[in-house]
Chains A and B, each alone.
Chain A
Amino acid sequence: MSGATTTPAAEKRTRVTENGPAGEQPEGLRARLAGSPVLRLVGRRLMIVIPLLFVVSALVFLLMEALPGDPAQIRAGMDASEEEVEAVRQQMGLDRPGHERYLSWLGGALTGDLGSSVVSGRAVTTLLGERLPVTLQMAGMAFVLSIVISLPLALAAARRPGGLVDRFVMVCSMTLLAVPNFVMALLLVLVFAVGLGMLPAIGFVPLAEGVWPNMRSMILPVLSLAVPMACFYARFLRGDLVEQLNAAAYIDTARSKGTGPWRILWLHAFRNSSFGLLTLVGLNIGALVGGTVIIERIFAMPGMGTLMLEGVMSSDVAVVQTCVFIFAAAAVFANLLVDVMYAVLDPRVRYGSH
């Protein structure tokens, strides 16, 4: 029984782990949370992310300053007299120095007031409330769909590298990957809307008007976003899986246990390949949000992308600033999420390397 001896300290540690978050002592729980590498990681990242967002907002502000076009002139109208424009400028506070305006914008933003649109005069927060859900729904569905399509394809292809399924998936994904998403969008419209008449070519139906009409209006934009991404993920994951299967010693160990090929693929190779895929997906979320700008335009979806484009066209500073800031924040938080996911998935990060 000499093998079963544990030091009291080690035993205590095991017991705490077994009790989990349901542990009765709040003190122990707090100590455990503070000791959790995942939470420490989130804390460390947030300390970088929050100042970063301030920098991003300042950059966006500078960018808007540098844009040609005078918002006061636009608000006042093209045929307004110089005095009228000057009056509007003062009323909008544009005569104040830049840093003052930035600070007051920042102060407003922190208290939930993002200013109002120069063109429509409506509050930016109200506009966001209308537009953000459309983009979120579209990007979210495209994100999920791209994963749902790519995982089975990559696993099926990696089962027999060089086999029929593999070659079929590789050729198809290469072809579809070579098509930019706006061309994909137009092709989809041509086939499903114009040719077959199955789906609406453009326009958005809110969820409030029924789930099915809403979904119908979403199918084509979501597909044109998701398909190129899915092809990218499938090719990447297939390559990583094949490399794991060929080169990794733990795959040999798993095979020599008598483990079946699918179980090896899913349980052994995929777990290790998922880290590479995760990085790629995280980086791609930024691109996904950017991609919605074009796709929303093509399908006339009233989302963030169209809002931003309209804003840029009419030098609507408050709108553009908010939109760009939200896009940037989405990218930053996507990467934060990826870091946290690493920690959750990879025991080497989760438990530290001692």
Chain B
Amino acid sequence: MRSGARLATMSGMLNATREPAATSNGAAGPILVVDDLRVTFSRHGRVVHAVNGLSYQVRPGRTLAIIGESGSGKSVSVRALMGLLPPSAHIEGSARLDGTELVGLDDKSWRAVRGCQIAMVFQDPASSLNPTMSIGAQLIEAIRMHAPLKRREAAQKAIDLLKLVRLPSPEKRLKQFPHQLSGGMRQRVVIAIALSSDPKLLIADEATTALDVTTQAQIMELLVDIQERLGMAVIMISHDLSLAACYAHEVLVMYAGKAVEHAETRNLFSNVRMPYTKALLDAIPQLSTPAHLQPAIVGGHPPDLSALPEGCAFLPRCPSSTEQCRIEPHLAEHEPEHAYACWHPVSRDGSCTGQKEERP
């Protein structure tokens, strides 16, 4: 069978790329370096500061989870990396992908980066596929965008990609339309599109939020598996801390367009320092807590990004705030491999109140 031979070459390719993934635990340099990224939107004289000086690095084979509430700037920050922000967005700072500066790229250069070096999986698989085009047409479009393949070769590659994302009976799927697939299957197709040109960086923007829990786990396992086989870097955007805890190597918590805590996943969850991260963790209902107990919620509202106050943006909602918090704390590695931006970090036993007594 011809497809069998193709599959062999495909798995050969996978074996070849598995090597850097294995060695990526520390040795490889970062594929993406984001430095002091700022995104502002100007509208009717109001300036909204969506992202305020974000810096991080992602290495090949590693997964960074960016966590935050709605409006924390997590989505905007990665859309800036894809050049998907509307023209009203003003982007400053630097984001270098494998040496290429992404901030200030012109339209033509963007097209060479998008889909080729960075790819993205979107939130809602029900709307992120074009309802009027067949799965095959959408996949083949992505494949042929960056590789000079003939239609038949591209179709064969499309089938290989659908096998890679473990979509059952891939040959049949090419002729089907998005509405004929389930949500999980559609997200597999979106992932196949994202993988079509072997990207160095995959961004999953709330990629499993719209899916039910079982499908969510399947899609995450698939992403982890593919990452291990292809050795790419992954940024996953989520508001779900437990998802990050399960699947990310590093976690970066965003608040009001800034990173407020950034550490290795194990390190962060065993030793939460930033009161905001603590509040997010406490907001997850536990099976051990008694039933009908009012869940702990993060009180107050996210700040108005067009009128940020002086000092720490979390100040109005923080249980351990003091006068000192009127001066903005900067993100720094106060502990080895653990950066946070807070004057009064949560103590190791997890209480915030101990800090309050130190109030001058």
Contact = CB atoms under 8 A, between A and B. Distances in A.
B114 A348 contact: no
A246 B131 contact: no
Interface stretch (A126-134, A142-150, A184-192, A251-259): A251-259
A18 to B, nearest CB: 9
Contacts of B113: 258
A13 B165 CA distance: 24
B128 A250 contact: yes
A8 interface: no
Contacts of A347: 131-132, 134, 177, 179
A4 B129 contact: no
A79 B132 CA distance: 68
Interface string B4-37: 1001000000000000000000000000000000
Given A252-B122, A347-B179, A271 B132 contact: yes
Chain B CB within 10 Å, residue with most, of A17, A248, A250: A250
B179 A348 contact: yes
Interface stretch (B98-106, B138-146, B340-348): B138-146
B127 interface: yes
B130 A272 contact: yes
Interface in A239-283: 246, 248-250, 252-261, 267-268, 271-272
Nearest to A263: B141
Contact of A249 (B127, B172, B196): B127
A267 B137 CA distance: 11
A346 interface: yes
Contact of A14 (B114, B118, B172, B177): B172
B145 A258 contact: yes
Interface size class of A (residues with CB under 8 A): 20 to 34
A259 B145 contact: yes
Contacts of B86: 246
B244 to A, nearest CB: 23
B133 A271 contact: yes
Contact of B131 (A3, A252, A258, A272): A272
B177 A250 contact: no
A279 to B, nearest CB: 15
A10 interface: yes
B146 A249 contact: no
Nearest to A2: B168
B229 to A, nearest CB: 15
B179 A257 contact: no
Given A271-B132, A346-B132, A4 B114 contact: no
Contacts of B171: 4, 6
B40 interface: no
B185 interface: no
Interface string B136-166: 0010011001100000000000000011001
A66 B244 CA distance: 77
Nearest to B116: A258
A346 B115 CA distance: 27
B112 interface: yes
B319 interface: no
Given A3-B168, A252-B84, A259-B141, A271 B111 contact: no
Interface in A10-36: 10, 14, 17
A258 B122 contact: no
Contacts of B110: 258
A353 interface: yes
Contacts of B196: 257
Nearest to B4: A1
A44 interface: no
Contacts of A261: 107
A14 B172 CA distance: 8
A3 B163 contact: yes
Nearest to A251: B130
A3 B132 contact: no
Nearest to B205: A252
A351 B180 contact: yes
A253 B177 contact: no
Nearest to B117: A258
Contacts of B145: 257-259
B27 to A, nearest CB: 30
Given A10-B172, A258-B114, A253 B179 contact: no
30 contacts: A1-B4, A1-B7, A3-B163, A4-B3, A4-B169, A6-B169, A10-B169, A14-B172, A17-B175, A246-B86, A249-B122, A250-B127, A253-B122, A254-B141, A255-B83, A255-B84, A255-B114, A256-B115, A257-B142, A257-B193, A258-B112, A258-B142, A268-B133, A272-B131, A345-B132, A347-B132, A347-B177, A347-B179, A351-B177, A351-B179
Interface of A: 1, 3-6, 10, 14, 17, 246, 248-250, 252-261, 267-268, 271-272, 345-348, 351, 353-354
Interface of B: 3-4, 7, 82-84, 86, 107, 110-116, 118-120, 122-124, 127-134, 138, 141-142, 145-146, 162-163, 166-172, 175, 177, 179-180, 190, 193-194, 196
Given A252-B120, A254-B130, A258-B146, 20 more contacts: A3-B163, A6-B172, A10-B169, A249-B127, A249-B128, A252-B84, A252-B128, A253-B120, A253-B122, A255-B83, A255-B114, A256-B82, A257-B193, A258-B111, A259-B145, A267-B133, A268-B133, A271-B132, A347-B179, A353-B179
Top 9 closest pairs, chain A to chain B, by CB: A258-B115, A347-B177, A249-B127, A257-B115, A271-B132, A249-B128, A257-B142, A250-B130, A258-B114
